[in-house]
Amino acid sequence: MSVFPVVLSQSKFIHRDSVKYPLEERALQFGDGIYEVIRIYNGSFYLLDEHIDRLYRSAEAIKLTFSVSKTELKELLSELVVRNNLTEDGKIYMQITRGSAPRDHIFPKNVEPNFYAYVQALPRNLQNLKNGVSVITHPDERWQNCYIKSLNLLPNVLAKQTAFEQGCYEAILHRDGIVTECSSSNVYLVKDGKIYTHPTTRNILHGCVRMAIERFVADVGIQLVEEPFKIHDIQEADELFLSSSTSEITPIIMVDGQKIQDGKPGEITRKLQKAYEKDANILENLITNV
């Protein structure tokens, strides 16, 4: 994998080898910070404004004061892509923490947030997009503020690891049988021509790709119903799919070892994948090649 040497650190561009963090850093010790993952296609951002808006919403929710403006931040991120000469498909990872200070749960005074961002190449997973993936179901063991894109991801990590150990791609999370989302993506169920997904409450992350899907359904003429579905609705589903910046719109073809219908990606999922490719200006069209 190509390594892109320039990283953004405290609004400065430096070589990745010179990034140093002290022992006492709030993200390392408390997970006290927030992050974003932004998709890049052919060197251009996809859904940048949505990600930036969510980042500032997360900052506000954890009372983190970040003095860089949205406009400045977008300029810095664009320059990061240019300085690294990233012209292919990729992603930016960025995080902001409450800073470096002697360990104490109470917020430190007069401490600047730590902020960094870096780019990585990320080819589209055409195999998954075309054929779909298998997933497991798993209890949602997270806190009550999942709308914040916080660095505290241990329950997500454990759920995804359990999925991985069972040869699966994702874990569909549920609270007492009600499906919230997946460990790192949003999830949708199609039944009788309608798409069902959990409403954007505090219990799920308000996905940027989900926001795009809200636009696509209008074009495609499908109803998106913001109503939660249950674990036991899954086996009766016509289609199931998930969405995220790294997974795009990925069909789910098997849940806990049971096929969804004939175990092939559904028609509505395909229409949305097509709308996604158009919206993201993706040149090679996955759908026509299927």
| CA dihedral for 226, 230, 231, 232, sign (positive or negative) | negative
Work out the number of other CB atoms within 10 angstroms of the CB of residue 255: 20
Q: Is 262 exposed, middle or buried (0-12, 13-18, 19+ CB in 10 A)?
A: exposed
Q: Which stretch binds ligand PDD (CB under 6 A): 76-84, 182-190, 250-258, 281-289?
A: 182-190
Among 245, 250, 269, 273, binds ligand PDD (CB under 6 A): 245
Output 114 or 156, the one with its CB closest to ligand PDD.
Answer: 156
Which of 9, 84, 114, 185 touches ligand PDD (CB under 6 A)?
185
Work out whether 244 is an interface residue with ligand PDD (CB under 6 A).
yes
Name the amino acid, one letter, at 220.
Answer: V
Q: In angstroms, how far is CA 154 from the centroid of its own chain?
A: 16
Q: Which 16-35 positions form the footprint of ligand PDD (CB under 6 A)?
A: none
Positions marked catalytic: 149
Given candidates 9, 243, 250, 273, which one binds ligand PDD under the rule CB under 6 A?
243
Residue 29 DSSP SS3: helix
- With CB under 6 A as the contact rule, which of the stretches 126-134, 241-249, 253-261, 262-270 interacts with ligand PDD? 241-249
Task: Judge contact between 149 and 122, C-beta under 8 A.
Answer: no
DSSP notation for 208-238: HHHHHHHHHHHHHT-EEE----BGGGGGG-S
| Cβ distance to ligand PDD smaller for residue 25 or 170 | 170
Residue from 99, 132, 207, 266 touching ligand PDD (CB under 6 A): that is 207
Query: What is the C-alpha separation between 122 and 246, in angstroms, rounded?
Result: 8
| Closer residue to ligand PDD (CB): 84 or 184 | 184
Minimum Å distance from CB 23 to ligand PDD?
Answer: 25
Q: What is the CB-side half-sphere exposure of residue 276 using CA atoms within 13 A?
A: 26
Q: Which of 205, 237, 252, 253 binds ligand PDD (CB under 6 A)?
A: 205
Q: Decide: 8 and 116 in contact? Cβ < 8 Å.
A: yes
Which 139-168 residues touch ligand PDD, going by CB under 6 A?
A: 156
Q: How far is the CB of 244 from ligand PDD (least distance, A)?
A: 4
Contact between 119 and ligand PDD by CB under 6 A: the answer reads: no
Q: For binding to ligand PDD (CB under 6 A), which residues are involved? A: 37, 156, 181, 184-186, 205, 207-210, 243-246
